[in-house]
A and B are shown apart, each in its own frame.
Chain A
Amino acid sequence: EIQLVESGGDFVQPGRSLRISCAATGSGFDDYAMHWVRQGPGKGLEWVSGISWNGGSEGYAESVKGRFTISRDNVNNYLYLQMDSLRVEDTAMYYCTKVGQGSGPYHNRGDWFDPWGQGTQVTVSA
């Protein structure tokens, strides 16, 4: 069973960049699409980005498109999110999560998210 641990969250100023990471332990990381989901203060869950098992397919929420880049390292079992031109509204707890079903594009109809990491906090403020 895969377990996920996020890291790299920090307090940054608007306009700066930050890369957060998600380390996966257990077997099968490279068989599954992976996603980032965030929860801002007092808000619900918001999907941010997803990447297929081999990195060949990516997707982004409109709110981060052109500023965030998702990537993965299937040798060392890591998922990354490069966040550029950060805004105050990007302040959130960021969770990485694995899809329940196997290989394919970043989004497959019928997919679910399981498991999730415990999150890493990103705070953007002047």
Chain B
Amino acid sequence: DIQMTQSPSSLSASVGDGVSITCRASQSISTYVNWYRHKPGEAPRLLIYASSNLPSGVPSRFSAGGSGTEFFLNIADLRPEDFATYFCQQSYSAPPTFGQGTKVEIK
């Protein structure tokens, strides 16, 4: 199975800040990475698919990229609803696997 390793595991930031999360794959996976935001008690939400694509309805303050084994998710101008846990996920090969998550907390 392909392992996905996120860093940092957690970070603290203030409303209006920008943050960056990285995800490393245990082997090359081209651009087959997706990102999700998960708030407690809610359904996870797709933020990014295929490394850098925003689904309809996702704000442009989210951006992402990368290829091969290194990927990133940037969030600009943090809003209160962005304080949550973020997961990367590879769709290169079965089984689909997730990173361990990055918790973004309010400073």
**What are 27 contact pairs spanning A and B, CB under 8 A?**
A35-B96, A44-B100, A45-B38, A45-B87, A45-B98, A46-B98, A47-B95, A47-B96, A47-B97, A47-B98, A50-B96, A59-B94, A59-B95, A100-B46, A100-B49, A106-B94, A109-B91, A109-B92, A110-B91, A112-B34, A112-B91, A113-B44, A113-B96, A114-B46, A115-B45, A116-B44, A118-B42
Tally of chain A residues near chain B (CB < 8 A): 27
Which residues of A come within 8 Å of B, CB atoms?
4, 35, 37, 44-47, 50, 59, 61, 95, 97, 100, 106-119
**When the two chains form their complex, are residues B43 and A119 in contact, meaning their CB atoms are under 8 A apart?**
yes
Q: Which residues of A contact B97 (CB under 8 A)?
A: 47
Tally of chain B residues near chain A (CB < 8 A): 26
Beyond A45-B89, A45-B101, 12 extra complex contacts between A and B, CB < 8 Å: A37-B44, A44-B99, A47-B98, A109-B32, A109-B93, A110-B50, A111-B91, A113-B44, A114-B49, A115-B45, A117-B43, A118-B43
Q: Which residues of B contact A111 (CB under 8 A)?
A: 91, 96
Min CB–CB distance A66 → chain B (angstroms): 15
Interface of B is mostly: loop
Min CB–CB distance A48 → chain B (angstroms): 9
Task: Give A47 to B95 CA distance when docked, in angstroms.
Answer: 7
**When the two chains form their complex, are residues A113 and B43 in contact, meaning their CB atoms are under 8 A apart?**
no
Task: Give A97 to B34 CA distance when docked, in angstroms.
Answer: 14
Min CB–CB distance A59 → chain B (angstroms): 6
Q: Which residues of A contact B83 (CB under 8 A)?
A: none
